[in-house]
Amino acid sequence: MLPLSVFIIAKNEADRIGTTIRAVRELTDDLVVIDSGSTDGTQAIAEGLGARVIFNPWPGYGQQKRFGEDQCRHEWLLNLDADEELSPALREEIRALFAQGEPSCQAYGIRIAETYPGEAAPHPFAYRLAPVRLYRRDVGRYSPSLVHDRVDLKPGTKIGKLKGLVHHRSIRSLGDQIAKLNVYTDQLALDLEVRGVSIPTWRVYFEFPAAFIKAYFGRLHFLRGTYGFLIAMNYAIWRHLRLAKHYEKKRLNGKAKTKANSAEQA
């Protein structure tokens, strides 16, 4: 076992969390699942695989991960989502980091590769991100954002990059993805309102085609056949919905202020 805590946030992930836990179970003696109210047996599956399951009502992505950090026992933390699986190569790479004692860097970016339904492993040209997921708790914490889950690191933190992949199975089906993105765009619109950010209305007219081009060509979904085209369409839909809901909030808030001002003048 490594001197490493692993924490996972989850809700209704009974079909995926077992794979996530099994891939890291032999790395740690401190595996924590923060559950926000699953009704499908996620908690029992996680506990059966040796995880400590802690309930915490959903406060937003960043806040939930900060709560998870606070439950961990070790100085080194590894964060995974319930739809992510460490590849065997990445698992051994993390073992090797600690083989000679303290790793040479204080935080590590990990490549997360999009994996479509029915794929055993990511496509060679799968879209990939490399956020910091492995880090010392004394150099960084998750941002408290409602919607963005990134680790904010102290200035001067030495950051390394790992070569192995995390397989990201975020899509159960196209319909499930649309439902998930509909909820997520509600949160994104609220986050913009809370932060006082106003995006120009003209972008509503161009966001969908621009986002489709970005996903289909920029993220190489055109190399993934018909399913890649459909995923690019869904990406464009959620980018459009984010702005559409933001515009709607601004419009309704503006009407409410006008009505309130009229009432005061009367």
- What confidence score (pLDDT) does residue 261 get? 65
Q: Which residues contact 81 (CB under 8 A, 6 or more apart)?
A: 8, 9, 20, 168, 170
Report the Cα 22 to chain-centroid distance in Å: 20
Question: What is the distance between the alpha carbons of residues 79 and 229, in angstroms, rounded to a whole number?
Answer: 30
Q: Which tokens is 178 given?
A: 């649309």
Q: Which alpha helices (DSSP H) does the chain contain, by range?
A: 17-24, 42-48, 61-71, 88-98, 174-194, 207-213, 225-265
Cβ-contact 45, 18 below 8 angstroms: yes
Q: Which tokens is 55 given?
A: 């309930």
Q: Which residues contact 59 (CB under 8 A, 6 or more apart)?
A: 67
Q: How far is CA 104 from CA 24, 110, 153, 221, in A?
A: 22, 16, 16, 36
Q: Each residue of 148-164: b (16+ CB within 10 Å) or e? A: ebebebeeebeeeebee
Q: What angle do CA 90, 91, 97 make, to 5 degrees?
A: 85
Q: Which tokens is 141 given?
A: 């914490």
β partners of residue 84: 168
Question: What is the distance between the alpha carbons of residues 5 and 202, in angstroms, rounded to a whole number?
Answer: 46
Per-residue pLDDT of the chain (266 residues; tens, 9 = 90+): 899 999 999 999 999 999 999 999 999 999 999 999 999 999 999 999 999 999 999 999 999 999 999 999 999 999 999 999 999 999 999 999 999 899 999 999 999 999 999 898 999 999 999 999 999 999 999 999 888 889 999 999 999 999 999 999 999 999 999 998 999 999 999 999 988 999 999 999 999 999 999 999 999 999 999 999 999 999 999 999 999 999 999 998 876 666 666 666 66
Q: What is the DSSP letter of 16?
A: T
Residue 116 burial (CB count, 10 A) = 18
- What confidence score (pLDDT) does residue 255 get? 66
User: CATH 3.90.550.10: which residues of the chain?
Assistant: 4-168
Question: What is the distance between the alpha carbons of residues 221 and 226, in angstroms, rounded to a whole number?
Answer: 9
- What confidence score (pLDDT) does residue 259 get? 62
> What's 4-168's CATH class?
alpha beta
DSSP sequence for 111-137:
EEEE--TT-SS--TT--EE--EEEEET
